Structure 1
Amino acid sequence: MQNASVFILMSVLLIILPGPDTGLATQNTLAAGKKGGFKTVLGGATGLMIHTLAVTLGLSSILVKSAFLFSIFKYVGALYLIYLGISALWSMRKKPDAQDEAPTSSYKHKSHFLQGFLTNLLNPKVAVFFLTFLPQFVKPGEATFWQFLALGLTYTVLTVIWFFFYVHFINWIRAWMKKPSTQRVIQGMTGIALLGFGVKLALEKQP
């Protein structure tokens, strides 16, 4: 691996940019607390590791070069994000007099890990990002397999570290938001954001 410090700096800057994983982690932390947020983050990290292995083994290049496969992943991923957004908005349906119950019951039996996992796994832009970003830090003439693996693992660990603090922060805010109406507003905002990311992904053209 070359320019390790530059890679870490660039990775951190890219990780903190808001994306579908940020919206989902926010939504699930507000709905289910730190436990839901951490499960979402671990699911997303697992998805990143699969993309890392795919890049390392050369499978992602096939996805990027095939318009058909790229479109399948793009639309399935977009539909899943749109589904999550609609689910968040749908969970806002509450009678105004239901003040004693926060709008979190609809998330009680949902798999937050699976949501985070599928959000990253079904996003072809992650594969494109890994294929264009990671090779810039691979040293020519050495074992590329282990270099790609190390870069992908480093990026995943940095992602988990950032979201560890992010989930704690969101949970701290959640502790001050006792009114169900306030939680519904925030949940609605994250739902709209997830819908927006889904539509944006669906309209994305193949690179």
Structure 2
Amino acid sequence: MSRTVFDISLSLDGFVTAAPQTAEEPLGPGGMQLHDWLVDRDYLERAVAGLGAVVAGRTTYDHSIPGWGADGPSGGARRPVFVVTHEAPDEATVPDGGVYTFVTDGVESALDQARAVADGRTVTVMGGADLGRQCLAAGLVDEISLHVAPALFGSGTAMFAGLDVGHVQLELLEAVGTPETVHLRYRVVRPVA
């Protein structure tokens, strides 16, 4: 069975974007610092080694498609990406031969489709505080993987603001520090029934 990992980069004060966001700077001023850790190829390769499929939000897709191209966020590995959206984009704007499936009937449907093609490998929910909060609130996440950048944004898109899930116990699985970020990976501890 696939495990579902919510994976996101954020500032030390919990923002996944800085304010103000603009078309030129979708992550806000200095927001690209959140992804400086991607230069650590060894960590990145380890992180995606067992990846079977990705679930992303529409805003993440729209902002990232110029860099991702047809192959998606995992580059040449060409893993399927299920984009949760209210409306699929015009086909002319989607890269030919791309790995993208647009899911208009909710995050649970996107996760079901991703798990079906992941064939027991990891399904990663990435990009988008709103999508991550939806998955966490619905109890659909097995692990949380955070990449904490050494910055305080003060304002922007807060990752966990408004998340009404009560007390959720987490078990630390990994903590790796680098000059660019601290990688934290937690297992969501399910209550014993």
With the length of structure 2 as denominator, give the TM-score of the two structures: 0.25
Structure showing greater radius of gyration is 1
Q: Which has the larger share of helix?
A: 1
With the length of structure 1 as denominator, give the TM-score of the two structures: 0.24
